[in-house]
Each structure stands twice: as C-alpha cells, then as structure tokens.
Amino acid sequence: MRRSPRIPVLVIGALMGLLAWPALAAPFTVSDQTGRSLGLAGPPRRIVSLVPSVTETLFAIGAQAVLVGVTDFCDYPREAGRKPSVGGMVAPSLETIVTLTPDLVVATTAGNREETFTQLDRLRIPVYLVNPTRLADVLDLIARLGALTGHEAEAARLAASLGARIKAVSERVTPLPRPRVLYVLWPEPLIVPARGTLVSELLALAGADSVTADGGNGYPRYSLEAAVAGSPEVIILARHGGRPGPMAGDKWQRFAELPAVKSGRVYTVSGDLLHRYGPRVVDGLEQLARLIHPEAFGKAGRP
C-alpha cells in the first residue's frame, strides 16, 4: 500500500494561500450529482479523486492528467497507482490533500464521510459529490466528468459504447427463462443486494430473478435460512480485491438439495467489476449474463 506523506498540520495554514489565488478565468458553475451547485474559478485542472470509480473513469476518457491525487483504493488502471495517494476513503489525509493544491475534490456520499466534506469546506476546497445508484447514473457520471475536464467527446464515445453493449446483453437474454439467482456480496454476515441497488439492476438486465431483490433496501444483512428458502438455481459469490475472499464455493456444498448446488452452478465473480460505478461495470454485466445464460453467448468473448 502506498504511504501518504506526513505533513505537519501547521503547514495547512501556510498552504491555504496557494488555494486562494485570484481567479484568472471566468466563473465556472457546475452542479454535482446530488444537485449541489459549485462555483469555481474555471474548469478544474487539479483534481483529487476520493472515489475509485471516478479515478477509473477519468483514465478511461483520457483525462488522467488532471488527477493530482487518489486514494489507496484507486487501483485501476495500474497507472493510477503512480498518482500521489491521500490515504484511505474513510479518513483521507487532509494535510496531503492541501499540499496537492487541488481546485476540486471528487467524493462520494456512499463511501466517504460527511466529516471529510465539512473539513474540506472549511479549508475552502470545493467538493463535487457523486452518488450513482443505477446504470443510467453511471453513464451520466461519465458525461459529467467529461464536461468537467474538457473531454466531452471522449466521454460521449465511451458512454455510447457502453450503452450499445448493455443493449446487446438485454437483447440476448430477454427472450429466455429467468432463473432464480442468489448473489452474495459478503458472506459473514450475509450481505445481499436488495431494492434500489446497482447489483440488483445488473442481475435483472442479465436475465435473472434475484431471490433477494425484495429483501429490503440497499445492501441489507440477510438470513441464511431465507437465502436457502429462495431455492436459487444459480449462486454467485463476489470476491474482493482480487482475492478469493472468506466465502469459497465449497462452503455451499452442504446445501446439496439446492438447485444451484445440484447442477454445479455456483460461481465466483469480481466485486471490483460489479460494485464499482465505473466503465468496467458493463464488463461485470456481460460476465453475469454469460454465467446466468451461457446458452445465449456460446464461445463468443463479448455479446
């Protein structure tokens, strides 16, 4: 893990002068994904990203030059690891952020703390909040980041390509029967996708009926008994950070009467693809669709 440099807190006061230079460009007003309006001196040229999916997206649209800082969790693409780190998402180093003299910090309401937003506001560092919960929000965020960084054309091309791939998946699986699928986001306690989540939407688009879709809102804890009672025909286990994680497929073999276990349809997928709100989420959708409906895709690598 990259180490954030330790900067004395007193240095913040001296560095704040660098963040308060007179505006040389015309006022630049933008609205973030939560509807907040931000007035900037001009288009941001020094961005700190506290959101791995935002970091991925900026690289994907060719806007990585504006990235002057990222978190320890911004590990894709590999080049992101060469950017200065501000630490973790929950408690990033404010001292490090200040030394990077950003004109904008991009953060998320679903991973960063309200305390961080308040502290950045006190330091007069503008914060652009993102909160995608649907695929449409992912495409919207791509367009917004393109507009923020002057890469509108690249963002439009990327969004159009992703939209076409989403449509291709939908067209292949729509005519097919919809198997009951249990998606395990985390094993202990058992965490699953329910109403209003991106993963539930992806499962539906991939041609599945999620057995936990009506089990609450967001990503609730779920009882093992309820999961088994759903009699899933396919079980999909998320792994995290490229590791197998604490729940291997053989843990489910004791439920020998489950249709998914009987037919050998217990799979593992990368949570980095399905839980992050960047362009690779469509890779995750395609992977889900191939696992749930292998008959629809044959040997083709991509729908």
Question: Which of 86-90, 171-175, 224-228, 237-241 shows the lowest per-residue confidence on average (mean pLDDT)?
Answer: 237-241
The domain boundary residue, chosen from 69, 102, 131: 131
**pTM for this entry:** 0.85
Angstrom distance (rounded) from CA 184 to CA 251: 12
Q: What is the pLDDT of residues 98-118, one digit of tens each?
A: 999 999 999 998 889 999 999
Q: What is the pLDDT of residues 243-263, one digit of tens each?
A: 444 445 567 778 889 999 999
pLDDT of 13 over the 50 cut: no
Query: If you average pLDDT over each of 4-8, 90-94, 243-247, which comes out highest?
Result: 90-94
Domain end: 66, 98, 131, which one? Answer: 131
Q: Indicate whether 21 pLDDT > 50.
A: no
Q: What is the mean pLDDT of residues 4-12?
A: 42
Residue 173 within a domain: no
Per-residue pLDDT tens over the stretch 110-143: 889 999 999 999 999 999 999 898 999 999 999 9
Q: Please say if the pLDDT value at position 38 is more than 50.
A: yes
Q: What is the pLDDT of residues 271-301, one digit of tens each?
A: 999 999 999 999 999 999 999 999 998 754 4
Q: What are phi and psi of 31, to 5 degrees?
A: -115, 135
**Is residue 146 in a domain?**
no
Would 149 be classed as within a structural domain? no
Contact predicate 256/225, CB 8 Å: no
Residue-level pLDDT at 191: 93
What pLDDT does residue 257 have?
A: 92
pLDDT tens-digit map of 147-156: 999 999 999 9
Question: Residue 25: pLDDT above 60?
Answer: no
Cα dihedral 196, 197, 200, 204, rounded to 10, equals 60
Judge whether residue 242 has pLDDT over 60: no
Confidence of residue 28 (pLDDT cuts 50, 70, 90): confident
Domain of 24 in residue numbering reads as: 11-131
Res 200 pLDDT > 60: yes
pLDDT at res. 250: 66
Q: Is residue 88 part of a domain?
A: yes
Q: What is the CATH number of the domain that holds 60?
A: 3.40.50.1980
Question: What per-residue confidence (pLDDT) applies to 181?
Answer: 98
pLDDT for the residue 146: 97
CB 194 within 8 A of CB 220: yes
212/112 same-domain check: no
- 125 with 202, same domain: the answer is no
Please tell me whether residues 54 and 124 are part of one structural domain: yes
> Is residue 206 situated within a structural domain?
yes
Which runs of E-coded beta strand occur in 170-275? 180-184, 209-210, 234-239, 266-270
pLDDT band at 241 (very low <50, low <70, confident <90, very high): low
Cβ–Cβ under 8 Å, residues 50 and 108: yes
CB 42, CB 29: distance < 8 Å: no
143 belongs to a structural domain: no
**Structural domain contains residue 207:** yes
Judge if 185 and 108 occupy the same domain. no
Looking at the fold, whether 126 and 184 belong to one and the same domain comes out as no
Average pLDDT value for the chain:
87
Which residue among 66, 96, 131 closes a domain?
A: 131
**Percent of the chain surpassing pLDDT 90:** 75
